[in-house]
Structure 1
Amino acid sequence: MPSESTAVVTTLFKAAKSGVLALTLAAFATASVAAERLYIFTENYPPYNASVSGKSFAHDEDDITGICSDMVKAMLARVDYDYVMKMRAWSYAYDWVQGRENHGLFCTARTEEREDLFQWVGPLASIKWTLFAAPDSDITLDSLEDARELQIAGYKGDVMSEYLVGQGFNVAMGMSGDVNTRRLMLGQADLWVTDGLVGPLVAEQEHGITGLKPVLVFRETPMYLAFSKNTDPAIVADLQQALDAARAAGELDAIAARYE
């Protein structure tokens, strides 16, 4: 029969083992939660995505609003995944997300060129690829080919700008689209390629300029939340199901209506 001191040692040893087991289980649980944390990026692209502060970056979802942003939040409210949402320059975020597990980017235009680069959740909204001219411009276009000899303002990483570059058009690429209204007004560009809603909004909010002339809409593309290929497809499926449920409940239509 063990002595009293031996029994005490045995009890302490068992407690220690239990403590180690608890810590080990806690570590596995933490690792599991971390593995399911989503890192979601967007850009300042009002009215689809916008920072509350008006700056081109944000570090928290509460500082990010807009049509697509609110749709993504409505989707995320229906799942149990932990997530962080940040706003960064598009070209940076586009490169950063690829190859990183559980990283996503919205609103990303889903095109044939990008199809195999991501896993897709959506659609969210659609963009109209529009060429704008300055308010006093006399430029008219019957087709995209009519813009072949003109200087077009765009920005790096933007799907519309990259498309025109690939088609051999003369596109002056900046790091963001915020300055392109001013470039039109200064005569540094003949046209600006951007979304039909974004152009006039940015021109007025950023520069106080109204009356931009939409001279040609040459394409329309659905936008999605794009996840890296490294992300578990089961997570992507969960998010798609949540987005479909939000749409069926009328939440997405209600969000879009708030920005009309």
Structure 2
Amino acid sequence: MRISNFIFGSRSRRILLAVMGLLAFAMGSSTASAGGKLHIYTENYPPYNTSTNGKSYAHNEDDISGICTGMVKAMLSRVDYDYVMKMRAWSYAYDWVQGRKNHGLFCTARTDEREDLFQWVGPLASIKWTLFAAPDSDIQLSSLEDAKNLRIGGYKGDVMSEYLADHGYNVVMSVSGDVNPRRLVLGEVDLWVTDGLVGPLVAKDEYDIEGLRPVLVFRETPMYLAMSKETDPAVVADLQKALDEARSAGELDQIVAQYQ
């Protein structure tokens, strides 16, 4: 009797341990496939991404809204991954996500120069590369070449600013794009390069400046969620699938309609 109890007990323990091992393996596999928590960053770039707390930064998704933000949230609601969303200065966030697993940044313009730096989920929305002049400016441009000798307000890490700088234009860089409307009306720069929707909103919200003159639209670029190269491609594929499903369901069009 004692021997049979000992044998049964040992066998039961072995079975229990085996089951627990399988459960642990399954849970571990699930965690591995999910890749862990996602860290998603954005910048204050209304109407695509904007803080609801009146600040240029935010620590959680409840304080972030906008066109692209709504699209990314719709996508993330269709996957099982835990995530955090934060708003930071663009140059900081752009450098921070690179080299870090499960880190991503939106809305990021997908260009040839950036193509191999990230894994891409999108498209989300598109930006129109626009040169703005001050309300009282008489600057007229028929082509981008006409701006060659003018001072153009831009900011570090911005794709439009860096494109112009790389092509020989006189771009006066700042840390954040929010200061450029003021620099424009003070005459510190002749033009300001930014998105066609963003420019008037930032000028109004930050400095109560109205009447900026869009003098040239010279390019249009789709924007994406840029995930780090270190992120598991399976995670990126899941995010893309979720975004595609949200688009097919009409959710993305509904988000855009809210801002029109």
Fold agreement, TM-score > 0.5: yes
Task: Summarize deviations over 1:75-131 as a string: whole Å, max 9, x none.
Answer: 111111111111111111111111111111000000010011111111000000000
Q: Is 1:242 the counterpart of 2:242 in the alignment?
A: yes
CA distance in 2, matches of 1:23, 1:236: 26
Displacement after TM superposition at 1:180 (Å): 0.4
CA distance in 2, matches of 1:22, 1:104: 32
Displacement after TM superposition at 1:234 (Å): 1.1
Distance 1:108 1:241, change over 3 A: same
TM-score, length-normalised on structure 2? 0.90
Distance 1:30 1:239, change over 3 A: closer
When the two chains are superposed, the root-mean-square deviation of aligned CA atoms in Å is 2.5
CA distance in 2, matches of 1:57, 1:240: 26
Match of 1:38 in 2: 38
Match of 1:92 in 2: 92
CA distance in 2, matches of 1:34, 1:61: 20
Q: Is 1:65 the counterpart of 2:65 in the alignment?
A: yes
Displacement after TM superposition at 1:235 (Å): 1.0
Equivalences for residues 1-260 of structure 1 within 5 A:
2=2, 28=28, 32=32, 35-260=35-260
Q: Would you say the 8 A contact 2:46–2:198 is kept in 1?
A: yes
- Matched to 2:131, the amino acid is L
How many correspondences in the alignment? 259
Distance 1:146 1:224, change over 3 A: same
- Matched to 2:242, the amino acid is A
Task: Summarize deviations over 1:14-44 as a string: whole Å, max 9, x none.
Answer: 8x979x9699669847964883311110000
- Matched to 1:205, the amino acid is D
Give me the identity figure in percent. 72
CA distance in 1, matches of 2:120, 2:32: 23
CA distance in 2, matches of 1:241, 1:187: 47
Q: For structure 1, list consecutive stretches of 5 or more residues without a partner in the other structure.
A: none
CA distance in 1, matches of 2:26, 2:175: 44
Q: For structure 2, list consecutive stretches of 5 or more residues without a partner in the other structure.
A: none
CA distance in 2, matches of 1:258, 1:17: 55
